[in-house]
């Protein structure tokens, strides 16, 4: 097995709300290898987004530590490609300029940035929409712009927070295949959050199942299936059922 | 005929009916009152053409009055912009600036521009008198709208920029400023409008015999109400023009804001 890219070492996170403290994450530990595709599933409000924000250094853990290639997460050191759960496009920039944003921040010159952006516009299938503004795009197209923007900086680590949640079934399935193709071609480390167990089994090498709040790791399931995975094959279905059962235990108690 | 065309014609029709009815009622009121100081629409129209072509008692034409007033308003407004926008950004971004400046700014905000007139007469001379009164009117709408614009900036966008490694300067220049620009523009539009409306107050204390406010005051002293109202209408029409010009500019600049395009 490859070396550990990310070490998550018994982290806990609580939020203070006035006099109350909300314990969101409790003693979560797991490691991620370089080039691995990890899916995290868990009930709504259990702290998946919070976990993701800690991994990219936006939120400090209350206890414990996170190491990425031996250092605490720092966007100026590590190249993160984060796809947020909510809309994160700048409404005053068109598609092209949104995708160029990360390159611009990193100080790349105009011409080169444009070339790279064009390449990713092509990959996410938005050719011809370069000059559209976010309010002229569908929800799924916006998500694809965010994905292109994250990929364009050639990130070391891709963090995706339910990126396909608002896509229709066809686009969703298409984007899953595209993401898998991109991942297998570039061999990037991906941490992918989803509500959708089938999606997790389709994509991941390992699926991490979180408990209800205060959230712990309930189980880590290795998906030992070759790609491309067939959603109707008996082993696929048995993985899916197994994870779904654990998931439902957490939702219904 | 298309639907859009028909709607346009109807709204134009209503517009004409509205103005015509108003002027007719006014004319009737003039006849009923039969007060020689109550000006009729027709006498006001004659007053406007007279001042426009032959000038007032000092020989200044309407265009010269308008130009003088516009110049004064623009100077006061310009100072309000270069003070209000940066201060608004600083207050919006840095809680410490907010905490230190709001206790002073809030009470000052509730002093009306007119209440500053006596102080301005004593302390200021020349153009600075006009500029100051206009500045008092224009500054606060600009400041408050800029602060509101900064506050409206989406936290997700700031976080997004951070994950790409943006430093504080980049976050301010590339996220906070562009995202608050629509509110800043609203502040400029409202500020210029208020500044323009302060012109009469400002010209009450400026010594020069020129300017739309001055024109009104001169003819009020002569009890020639038709010219007084002519001056009032000139102020109103120019204020409206400025407002619509900036609105049109806002629509062009902020196409990305769905609210302004619909
Ligand atoms: N900044 C914050 N301040 C206070 N509480 C917070 C904050 N961020 C998140 N929380 C709380 O932490 C809990 C977990 O939130 P989080 O967004 O991580 O959930 P999630 O697992 O991503 O949910 P979903 O699947 O619905 O997106 C929630 O109860 C939320 O109210
Ligand atoms: Mg979430």
What's the confidence (pLDDT) of residue A215? 93
What's the confidence (pLDDT) of residue B7? 87
Calculate what percentage of chain A has a pLDDT beyond 90: 76
Same domain, B56 and B71: yes
Q: What is the pLDDT of residues B95-117, one digit of tens each?
A: 999 999 999 999 999 998 889 98
What's the confidence (pLDDT) of residue A93? 95
- A159 CA: distance to closest CA in chain B (Å): 10
Q: What is the pLDDT of residues B216-225, one digit of tens each?
A: 999 999 999 9
Two tokens, residue B99: 């905490």
**CB-based contacts of B29, cutoff 8 Å, min separation 6:** B38
Same domain, B239 and B179: yes
Q: What is the arithmetic mean of pLDDT over B54-80?
A: 93
Q: What is the arithmetic mean of pLDDT over A77-92?
A: 94
What's the confidence (pLDDT) of residue A2? 52
Same domain, B76 and B27: no
What's the confidence (pLDDT) of residue B259? 57
**CB-based contacts of A37, cutoff 8 Å, min separation 6:** A183, A189, A190, A192, A203, A204, A205, A206
Higher pLDDT: A228 or A252? It is A228
Cβ A75–B164 below 8 Å, yes or no?
yes
pLDDT above 50: residue B15: yes
CATH topology for the A4-78+157-252 domain: Rossmann fold (3.40.50)
Same domain, B25 and B65: no
Binning pLDDT at 50, 70 and 90, where does residue B258 land? low
| Least confidently predicted of B45-49, B141-145, B254-258 | B254-258
Count other C-beta atoms under 10 Å from residue A106's C-beta.
Answer: 15
Tell me the CB-side half-sphere exposure of residue B41, using CA atoms within 13 A.
11
Burial class of A27 by CB neighbour count within 10 A (0 to 12, 13 to 18, 19+): middle
Domain that holds residue B4: 1-34
| Rounded distance between C-alpha atoms, residue A142 and residue A164, angstroms | 11
What's the confidence (pLDDT) of residue A32? 95
Q: What is the DSSP letter of A230?
A: P
Cβ A92–B170 below 8 Å, yes or no?
no
Higher pLDDT: A28 or A172? It is A28
Rg (CA), chain B: 23
Same domain, B43 and B30: no
pLDDT above 70: residue B141: yes
Report the residue of A50, A68, A80, A88 to disrupt the B interface, i.e. the one with the largest count of B CBs within 10 Å: A88
Q: What is the mean pLDDT of chain A?
A: 92
CA B22–ligand 1 middle distance (angstroms): 59
Q: What is the arithmetic mean of pLDDT over B197-215?
A: 88
Q: What is the arithmetic mean of pLDDT over A201-218?
A: 94
Which phi and psi angles does A23 have, rounded to 5°?
-80, 115
| Rounded distance between C-alpha atoms, residue B130 and residue B136, angstroms | 10
Nearest chain B residue (CA) to A88: B157
> How many domains is chain B partitioned into structurally?
2
Report the residue of A94, A105, A116 to disrupt the B interface, i.e. the one with the largest count of B CBs within 10 Å: A105
What's the confidence (pLDDT) of residue B148? 95
Q: What is the arithmetic mean of pLDDT over A187-194?
A: 92
Same domain, B186 and B91: yes
pLDDT above 50: residue B262: no
Q: Give the position of tokens 């009470």.
A: B107
pLDDT above 50: residue A72: yes
Q: What is the mean pLDDT of chain B?
A: 91
pLDDT above 70: residue B260: no
Same domain, B134 and B27: no
Same domain, B16 and B101: no
Two tokens, residue A154: 């050639």
pLDDT above 80: residue A169: yes
| Rounded distance between C-alpha atoms, residue B239 and residue A133, angstroms | 33
Binning pLDDT at 50, 70 and 90, where does residue A16 land? very high
| Rounded distance between C-alpha atoms, residue A159 and residue B68, angstroms | 61
Residue-range domain boundaries for chain A: 4-78+157-252, 88-155
- A104 contacts chain B (CB < 8 A): yes
- The ipTM (two decimal places) reads 0.92
| Least confidently predicted of A170-174, B17-21, B36-40, B226-230 | A170-174
| Rounded distance between C-alpha atoms, residue A251 and residue A26, angstroms | 18
What's the confidence (pLDDT) of residue B205? 83
Q: What is the arithmetic mean of pLDDT over A188-199?
A: 93
- B152 contacts chain A (CB < 8 A): no
- End-to-end Cα spacing for chain A: 35
Calculate what percentage of chain B has a pLDDT beyond 90: 76
pLDDT above 80: residue A20: yes
């Amino acid at each position: 097995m490859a070396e550990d890219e990310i070490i998550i070492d018994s982290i806990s996170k609580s939020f203070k709300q006035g006099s109350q403290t909300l314990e969101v994450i409790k003693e979560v530990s797991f490691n991620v290898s370089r080039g691995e595709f990890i899916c995290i599933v868990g009930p709504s409000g259990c702290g998946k987004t919070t976990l993701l924000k800690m991994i990219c250094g936006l939120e400090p853990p209350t206890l414990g530590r996170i190491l990425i290639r031996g250092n605490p997460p720092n966007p100026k050191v590590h190249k993160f490609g984060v796809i947020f759960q909510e809309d994160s496009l700048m409404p005053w920039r068109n598609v092209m300029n949104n995708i160029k944003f990360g390159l611009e921040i990193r100080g790349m010159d105009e011409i080169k940035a444009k070339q790279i952006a064009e390449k990713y516009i092509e990959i996410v299938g938005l050719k011809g929409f370069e000059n559209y503004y976010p309010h002229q795009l569908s929800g799924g197209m916006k998500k694809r712009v965010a994905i292109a923007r994250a990929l364009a900086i050639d990130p070391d680590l891709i963090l995706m927070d339910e990126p396909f949640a608002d896509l229709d079934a066809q686009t969703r399935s298409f984007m899953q295949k595209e993401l898998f193709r991109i991942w297998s071609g570039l061999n990037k480390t991906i941490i992918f959050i989803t509500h959708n167990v089938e999606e997790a089994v389709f994509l991941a090498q390992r699926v991490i199942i979180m408990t209800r709040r205060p959230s712990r790791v309930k189980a880590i399931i290795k998906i030992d299936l070759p790609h491309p995975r067939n959603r109707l094959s008996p082993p696929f279905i048995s993985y899916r059922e197994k994870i779904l059962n654990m998931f439902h235990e957490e939702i219904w108690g | 005929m298309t639907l859009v065309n028909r709607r346009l014609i109807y709204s134009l029709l209503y517009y004409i009916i509205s103005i015509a009815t108003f002027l007719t009622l006014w004319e009737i009121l003039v006849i009923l009152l039969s007060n020689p100081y109550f000006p009729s629409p027709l006498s006001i129209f004659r007053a406007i053409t007279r001042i426009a072509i032959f000038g007032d008692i000092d020989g200044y034409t309407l265009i010269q009055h308008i130009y003088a007033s516009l110049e004064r308003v623009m100077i006061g407004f310009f100072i309000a912009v270069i003070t209000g926008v940066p201060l608004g950004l600083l207050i919006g971004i840095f809680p410490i600036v907010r905490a230190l400046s709001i206790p002073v700014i809030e009470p000052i905000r509730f002093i009306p521009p007119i209440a500053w007139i006596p102080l301005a007469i004593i302390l200021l001379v020349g153009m600075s008198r006009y500029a100051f009164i206009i500045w008092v009117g224009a500054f606060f709408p600009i400041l408050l709208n800029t602060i509101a614009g900064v506050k409206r900036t989406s936290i997700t966008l700031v976080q997004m920029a951070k994950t790409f490694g943006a430093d504080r300067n980049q976050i301010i220049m590339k996220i906070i400023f562009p995202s608050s620009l629509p509110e800043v523009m609203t502040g400029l539009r409202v500020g210029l409008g208020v500044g323009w409306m302060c012109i009469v107050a400002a010209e009450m204390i400026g010594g020069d015999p020129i300017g739309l406010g001055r024109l009104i005051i001169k003819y009020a002293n002569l009890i020639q109400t038709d010219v007084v109202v002519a001056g009032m209408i000139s102020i109103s029409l120019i204020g409206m023009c400025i407002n619509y010009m900036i609105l049109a500019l806002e629509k062009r600049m902020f196409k990305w804001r769905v609210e302004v395009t619909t």
